[in-house]
Every structure is written in C-alpha cells, then in structure tokens.
Structure 1
Amino acid sequence: MKGRTWHTVVALVAGVTISLSACAGDQGTDTDSFTVGLLLPSRFIPRWEQSDKPLIEQHVKKLCPRCTTKYANAENDASTQRQQMVSMITNGAKVIILDTADTKALRSSIQEARNEGVPVVAYDRLAEGPVSAYVSFDGVKVGRLQGQALLTAMGDTAGQKNIVMMNGDPTSPNAPSYRKGALSVLEGRTKIARSYDIQGWNTMNAHADMVGAIAALGPDRIGGVLAANDSIAEGVISALKGAGVRKLPPVTGQDADLDAVQRIVKGEQYMTVYKPFASEAATAAAMAVALGRGEDLGDIATTTTDSPTTQRIPSVLLTPTAVTAATIGRTLVKDGVYTVDQICTPDLRPACDKIGLTR
C-alpha cells in the first residue's frame, strides 16, 4: 500500500495475544542463525509487497537478529510458487511463511517441506497439506461487514434494489468465507441480480464482468455492488463511470488500499475493510521463529483451524474493521496506517474538509 507509515503502527501489535519476549526464548537465543522463507502470491494486491513483506522481515529480525528472510513472489502462478518452495527448501530454509497462490496446487509442495523437516506457516490464506500454523482474519466477519455496510448505504429501499456480487478469486480459500458472510446478511433483504467470481482479484477482470452486469441490468438499475476487495472495487467503479453513471451506487471493498481510501473520500467507494496487517505480520513472524527454534506454539496460537486435509492447525484469527468516510480518522489515521497528508492530496483537500478529515 502506497504511503503506509508502518513505523508508527507498531502499537497495533500490542493488541495481539503474543509475548514477543516469550517468543524469543531463553537468554542466548539471539545467537540463532537460520533462514525464514517468505512466499507471497502476487503483485495484483498492493498490500503484499508494500506492507506484508517489509513488516514480516522487520519482525523476524526483531525476534531473531541473526536470522535471514529470503523472499519470492509467485506472480499469481502456482507452478512458479512450487518451484520457489523447492528452491527455498534446497537452499536451507528452516521454516517457510506461505501465502499460497493456489491452495490445492501447493499441497504436495507443503508435504515435501514436511518430509524435509521444514514447517510451513500458512499466511492469510489457509493452504491445504500439513501446514504447522495459520494466521489470518475472520473471513466470514469480513463478508458480514461488507454486506451490512451495503444494506446501510442502500437504506430502506434495499429490498427493492438489484445488487451485483463481485466475489474473490475462486482458487482462494478466503473467497468462500467472504461470500458466506456477505450472503448471511444480504439474502432475503435485497435482490442479488448477478454474481461473478473474479479471477486473480484482478481489476481488469472485475471491470469486464461489471461491464457485462451493466449491459444485462441497465446502468441505472444497480442499487449496490458487493466488491470483495479494493482492487475489484476499482474495476467496478471504472466500469460504472465508463457507462456514464453519475450517481454511483454504494460499492464495498477490502484491504484499505490508499487509492481506495481516497475513493471513499471522493464519494466513489462507500467502504473498505481494514485488517491490521502489522498484527498479522507480527504473528506470522513469531510463529516462524518459534517453529524454526523447535518451540511449541502454545504461547502464540489462540485457536485451531481445520483444513480439508489437516485438523487442529494452531491458529490466530484477527478481527477486521469496517471503514467509511466517517471513520477514516479514528481507524486508519489513528493507527498510523496513513497520515492525513497522505490521504488528503491538494485536489482532495476540499473533500477531506467536508468529511472532517483534518490534521
């Protein structure tokens, strides 16, 4: 995410049930020296390289000063990520943090890592196979926040309006949870006229599908759009504007990308879901360092999760927060994710003043 001032968000980590001093182990463990592999799925979503990567590297170094983090990006290609896994193992990674490009396709690679004694921490998306730990956000709650926000924005007429659901990538294990949460709020309260699964969470794919929805329903007969994340929301909004829609319907999002926050300020996007990535990254780093040292995760994991292949995976599921124009200041700015100056560029200053977003 462009412009994040992550050095100011370390306070967020205090909200996670982790004792970093406990994770550091007994005196003398700072002499540890091993490699933590970090594999992220794509560059389509800005947060991966602009937020998660530097945060994880920072926290690994804090917990284990002599440890090294080796990084690779799969560019949304599962076969590339499988090769990266092999390379990490071959080159001596002692533990791997994996945000999988394809949960099923990486199953055999995770099994190979287990066979070589390399534990895998599933990051943000729950991979299949014998992962040793998992950290993410409550995906069902993310969907509920989006669905409820959409109903709120549509008001008393929600039951008479068409909405379009622009769901996440069907290969992502998180996408069904987001959809389930949204449907738990929306079904029976509004009309879901069209529903699409957006490959790769890609803005261009979202734009193309939204053009199809507009052609089928009419540009003025769409009362709201449930967009699973901010990249999808960007494509949706560009399609609506391209169709000449002047009064945009409410559009949801997720990830609190800076561009999305600025769209919210301008009134183009109704909301996003903020997930405190500093806490997620700190948790992943703590899990990885503990596993690399052969330690138990009892002081870190707060629950367990079952995947289609593995039961009772030690897990931490963090809490997301809805953000609208009215709450940017007391969420994203307060937590140091962005400064007011980063959000309120000169051309947005009048809009920021209008919603009370001031220095």
Structure 2
Amino acid sequence: MKQPFNQVKIALFLLGITLLLFACDRNEKVMTETPVYTPKEEVSQDKIKIGFSMDTLVEERWVKDKKLFKEAVENLGAEVEITVAHGNDVLQIWQAEKMISSGIDLLVIVPHNAESTAAIVNKAHAAGIKVLSYDRLVKNADVDLYVSYDNEKIGELQAEAITNLVPKGKYVYIGGAETDYNAHLIKKGVFNVLQPYINNGDITIVFDQWTKEWLPENAKANIELALQANNNEIDAIIATNDATAGAVIEVLQERGLAGKIPVAGQDADIAAVQRIVEGAQTMTVYKPINELSQKAAELAVMLARGEDVSKEQKVNNELVDVPSFLLSPIAVDRANIDETIIADGFHKKEEVYRSFGE
C-alpha cells in the first residue's frame, strides 16, 4: 500500500515542478515581449545632439549666426554644442574631433579653411556622423548637405550695382580669404558681370588681391597698395564683405576720397549700413541670417533623424556635387534699406539713421 502512495506523491511533485516551470517561462515571455512606452518626442530629444563648429566670431554677422542657430535647434527639441576656432585650422579640427567622439548625431561646420576641413568630414563619416556645411562649403569632401546663400549671385549683385554707376574705368577688387571657398564663388560672380566690360575695354582691373584671413588690416594694406600704384586714380572698388569695405573706406577717408569712389560690400553689418546712409559706401548685400539659421537648423535635425532632405540643387566642391539649399541674397542701397533690413528687424531704424534722426 505504501508503494502506490509514494508513486502518487512523486507524480504530484513532478506535476508541480512542470507547472512552476511553465509559469516562469510564461512570465519571462510577458516581461520580454511587453514594450516599455516612451513618448516619441522624448526619444527624439534624447537622441538628437547637433555639433556646431564655427570658424570665428570676429565679424558681427557670425555672432548673430551663433545665437540664432542655437535658438532654432533648441526650439526643434534638439541640443547643440558650439565651438569657435578663432581662425585656427588645427584648433577647429581638434574641436570637431572632440565633438565627434562625444557622441553628437550630426556635425554642422563653418570651415575656416575649405581644404583642411575635409579631414573633419572624413572623420565624422568614419564615425557614422553626417556633416552639414553651413554658409561656407568644405572642398574636396563628400559633404552631405550645404546650406547657404547663392554666393555667385552675391558677387553678381555687387558688380551689377557698381557697373550701373561706373560702366567704364579702373576697378579694384579686394577679395576675401583665399582659403574660404565662398570668397572664390563670390569672385566668380563678380567677374561673371565684369568680364564683358573687360573684354570690351571699358573696364580695367588695376588691382586684384585676396585678403588674408578676412582681416580688415590686410584689406587696408591692399587698398593702400592699389591707390599708390594708380596715383589715387581709381574709379570703383568691389570688396568681398563689409569688414574689408570698411577698411577700404577708412583709407579713402584719409585721402579725401570717401564718397567719391563707389565701394561695394556684403553682409549688411550695421557699420556698413550706416556708411551707406552717410554716403561713404555704395551698397551691401543682405543675407537674412534668421532665414539661414532656421533652415540650417531644420535640415540638421532632419538629417540627424535620417529623414529625406534630398535637393535637386547642387554645388560642386571639386570632389562631388553637394546637395544644396541656396537662399536668395538681396542687394541693398540707400533707396531700399527701410523695406529690407529695417523691415525685417535685422537692424533698428534708430541705429541705422544715427546721424540723421529719421
């Protein structure tokens, strides 16, 4: 009688073990298969971190870019880390490498040297990070996206404004930094317009020089050489940006020539707009930075999320045709300051008309 009883106990014990194992297995499956809910927006915010590698803050416009881009990225729910290289190639590469190793999701770069920063693009790609070139194009690298204004068009607007005033005569061209690919694109645009006049013999380029590092003191040295070589007999000057134009005008003022020789610039710096009002500078080219920074921020976040940002427009950087978003620049002179720069809130009216009380 004891033997059957023992067999029953053993059978019940084995059944209990089986049921226990089944229950544990079922619970494990439930725990494994049940997803943990995380709001989609929270995931996106946690994942997206943009690195913004800037060349300089010397010019007024770059201070605005830094502030506006940061605000735009943060308004989109992403984070941004910003570094400034202060015109130092080695520092910019090191700063970018540090951001890449820290785990950013996308790198936005304003290159100091269009050639050397190709190394940054290659390092980012090796880490699986895409690169957006902001305002200035990196050369000889497979850049994922380029967002800027149409730099050839900027040069064309400058040259059109000056040739309308001075269709014949001696011209001086004060270029930007030779290391900046934008300076080459702007110069190309200028000579797109000037070349027919040159071919006809109406315009003679008596001085054509780059401005190292975009520094006003180098532009000043250039215009002094140009004036000396031509016995002050110059009919028009095209300077690549407003900082170089300001240096040019400073020299012209010293020689009593300010306001007598048309001078073109670009960037719509407050000092340049004031010079236009006062008659010392002829024109500038306005690039609404708010529009540029907002578009760049939107595309950077989209690119970081793997969303489609394909664009038919392309700009060749001497290696590939880079997908590009090119915004339209605006020529500004004394006649349309109010309806452009002031209407957009880029500069305040009381600042622009500081000496005129308008």
Q: Same fold judged by TM-score > 0.5?
A: yes
Quick one: which amino acid aligns to residue 48 of structure 1? W
Q: 1:63 to 1:30 in 2, by over 3 A?
A: farther
Q: Is the 8 A contact 2:259 2:281 kept in 1?
A: no
Look up the equivalent residue of 1:310 and give its one-letter code: V
Alignment match, 1:72:
83
Match of 2:244 among 228, 232, 235: 232
**Is 1:170–2:184 an aligned residue pair?**
no
Determine the C-alpha separation between the residues in 1 that align with 2:108 and 2:181: 17
Q: Secondary structure at the match of 2:271?
A: helix
Looking at structure 1, the residues matched to 95 and 347 of structure 2 have their Cα atoms a distance apart, in angstroms, of 33
Tell me the distance in 2 between the aligned counterparts of 1:307 and 1:210: 30
Q: Which residue of 1 aligns with 2:19?
A: none
| Match of residue 347 from structure 2 | 338
Query: 2-side partners of 1:73 and 1:37: how far apart?
Result: 11
Matching residue within 48, 65, 69 for 1:52: 65
Q: Is the 8 A contact 1:44 1:202 kept in 2?
A: no
Q: Whole-Å Cα distance in 2 between the matches of residues 282 and 247 of structure 1? A: 36
Give per-residue Cα distances to partners, 1:79-108, cap 9 Å, x unaligned.
110001111112121111101011110112
Conserved 8 A contact 1:146-1:322: yes
CA distance in 2, matches of 1:101, 1:323: 27
Q: Which of 91, 100, 122 is the matching residue for 2:111? A: 100
Q: Which residue of 2 aligns with 1:125?
A: 136
Give the conservation status (yes or no) of the 8 Å contact 2:69–2:293.
yes
Structure-2-length-normalised TM-score:
0.84
2:258–2:280 contact (8 Å) kept in structure 1: no
Bigger relative contact order, structure 1 or 2 (CA pairs below 8 A, ≥6 apart): 1
Residue number among 159, 164, 182 corresponding to 1:147 in the alignment: 159
- Provide the aligned C-alpha RMSD in A: 1.5
Identity of aligned residues (%): 31
Q: Aligned equivalents of 1:30 and 1:185: distance in 2?
A: 51
Indicate the structure (1 or 2) with the bigger Cα radius of gyration: 2
After superposition, residues 264-275 of structure 1 pair within 5 angstroms as: 264-275=276-287
Report how far residue 162 of structure 1 moved: 1.0
2 CA distance for matches of 1:260 and 1:94? 38
Q: How many residues align?
A: 312
CA gap of 1:246–1:57, structure 2 versus 1, over 3 A, is: closer
- 1:246–1:292 Cα change, 3 Å: closer
For 1:282, give the aligned amino acid. Answer: Q
Q: What residue number does 1:198 align with?
A: 211
Following TM superposition, by how much is the alpha carbon of 1:247 offset from its aligned partner in structure 2, in angstroms?
4.6
Alpha-carbon distance in structure 1 between the residues aligned to 2:216 and 2:98: 31
Query: Aligned residue for 2:57?
Result: 43
Cα distance in 2 for residues equivalent to 1:304 and 1:183:
21
Q: Structure 1 residue 349 and structure 2 residue 339: aligned? A: no
Choose which of 185, 194, 200 in structure 2 pairs with 1:186.
194
**Cα distance in 2, alignment partners of residues 137 and 44 from structure 1:** 20
Whichever residue aligns with residue 170 of structure 1, its letter is: E
- Structure 1's 328 and 195: CA in aligned 2 closer, same or farther, altered over 3 A? same
- Any stretches of 5+ residues in structure 2 without a counterpart? 1-38
Q: CA contact under 8 A between 1:124 and 1:136: conserved in structure 2?
A: yes
Equivalent residue for 2:298?
286
Out of 293, 297, 309, the residue aligned to residue 319 of structure 2 is 309
Rounded Cα–Cα distance in structure 2 between residues aligned with 1:238 and 1:302: 43
Contact 2:265 2:284 in 1 (8 A): yes
Q: Which residue of 1 aligns with 2:12?
A: none
Q: CA deviation at 1:243?
A: 2.5
The correspondence for 1:81, drawn from 82, 92, 95, is 92
Distance 1:246 1:143, change over 3 A: closer
Superposed CA deviations along residues 123-166 of structure 1, whole A, max 9, x for unmatched, are 01111312211101111111110001111222xxx32x211100
AA in 2 matched with 1:42: T
CA distance in 2, matches of 1:227, 1:163: 11
CA distance in 2, matches of 1:53, 1:30: 25
TM-score by length of 1: 0.83
| Structure 2: distance between partners of 1:92 and 1:41 | 21
CA contact (8 A) 1:290 1:297 kept: yes
Gaps of 5+ in 1: 1-26, 351-357
**CA distances 1:180-236 after superposition (whole Å, capped 9, x unpaired):** 1111212324221111111111111000111111111122x1111011110110110
Letter in 2 for 1:279: E
